[in-house]
Amino acid sequence: MSIETTKPLRADAARNRQLVLKAALDTFASEGLGVPLDEIARRAGVGAGTIYRHFPTKDDLFRAVIGSLLADIVADGRAMLHEPEPGEALFRFLRLLILHWGADNQGLVDAFATVGLDWGSAGPVAEEEFLVLLGDLLRAAQDAGNARAEITPLEVKTLMIGCQAMQGYNAALAESVTEVVLNGMRPRSA
């Protein structure tokens, strides 16, 4: 293993790299991960070959985009832990993730729903961090008596993915069905 020697990019190369990342962010968000690379190239105003020089495969591009998104999301979640009422933070975070992030970003939904996608390994934030955050939020909620004790972080993630699927099926009902699911996480007698 040698040290990371990121050799300096030529000016146009660096510029195009940013154009591609920006276009990929927008395109994955609006069209989902299934979008053809040509469409991203078109929106970025570059050729398909240029994308492949910077990101050897489509997955690499996707990881770069989603990884940085996930970093923002985790940051939001961590901040919520330190607001008043940390026992409600889990529910606020899940609503934010499903109704705000998920509704505006099909690519993110696709990424969460795809099983066995090691999207963390190349992104700024590993998927593992997301699970740790969920665990922290969950524990805070459980300590406050707002969430059932037997629920695990992985179950919370699974429930969130289910809520995103519900939203994808019927966006108009997203809010109400999400509340049903969140209610199911609360203790029976609260």
Partner DNA sequence: CACTATACGGAACGCACGCCCCGCTTTGTC
Partner DNA sequence: GACAAAGCGGGGCGTGCGTTCCGTATAGTG
According to the binding rule CB under 8 A, does residue 154 interact with a copy of itself? Answer: yes
Between vectors from CA 32 to CA 15 and to CA 184, what angle results, nearest 5°? 130
According to the binding rule CB under 7 A, does residue 10 interact with DNA? Answer: yes
Site for a copy of itself in 115-144 (CB under 8 A): 115
To which H or E segment does residue 87 belong?
helix 86-95
According to the binding rule CB under 7 A, does residue 6 interact with DNA? Answer: no
Q: In 3D, which of 55, 175, 69 has the Cα closest to residue 112?
A: 69
Q: In 3D, which of 39, 17, 19 has the Cα closest to residue 28?
A: 39
According to the binding rule CB under 8 A, does residue 184 interact with a copy of itself? Answer: yes
Backbone angles phi, psi at 17, to 5 degrees: -60, -40
Report the partner that residue 34 touches, choosing among a copy of itself, DNA, none (CB closer than 5 to 8 A by kind).
DNA
> How many angstroms separate the CA atoms of 161 and 158, rounded?
5
**Interface ranges with a copy of itself (CB under 8 A):** 113, 115, 148, 150-151, 154-155, 158-159, 161-166, 168-170, 173, 176-177, 179-185, 188, 190
**Interface ranges with DNA (CB under 7 A):** 9-13, 15-17, 34-38, 45-50, 52-54, 56-59
